[in-house]
Copies of this chain bind each other. A is one copy, B any other.
Amino acid sequence: MNIGDVAKRTNLRAKTIRYYEDIGLVTPLRDTNDYRVFRDSDLHKLTFLARARALGFTIDDCRALLTLYEDETRASSDVKEIANKHLEEIEAKIIDLQAMHATLTHLAQECAGDHRPDCPILEGLSGGDRNPSNEAG
């Protein structure tokens, strides 16, 4: 199978697949014309990678997960550890974003949003009343 077909089946872009080969995540064969030739096993790996990336795992995590995926003697605890670590990072990001959202919503609510220059958003950013992040770091 050529790279274009693999791209369609995995919903990855050809560029991305080449990149994944570059960094050693997959190693397709080569035809006599230098075209990449993907076996079923390559397709499985790339599908796996696409799903792991869609869940937000870093490439490094994906590499580790792929190694575990291919290791029949793995311990599921190793997989779960990676997953739990990632879950914690996701939670931290959500909390950060929710804090930003709350602060910015508060500021935006107080802003008239008309032709006048008075703007509580700018006042808040310039250090006016409330602290958008942490003042005492």
Contact = CB atoms under 8 A, between A and B. Distances in A.
A11 interface: yes
A38 to B, nearest CB: 16
A131 B105 CA distance: 33
Interface string A47-72: 11001101110000000010011011
Tally of this chain's copies: 2
The interface residues of chain A, by DSSP majority, are classed as helix
Contacts of A74: 117, 119
Interface size class of A (residues with CB under 8 A): 35 or more
Interface in A17-53: 44, 47-48, 51-52
Interface of A: 11, 44, 47-48, 51-52, 54-56, 65, 68-69, 71-77, 79-81, 83-84, 86-87, 90-91, 93-94, 97-98, 100-101, 103-105, 107-108, 111-119, 121-122, 124-127, 132-133, 137
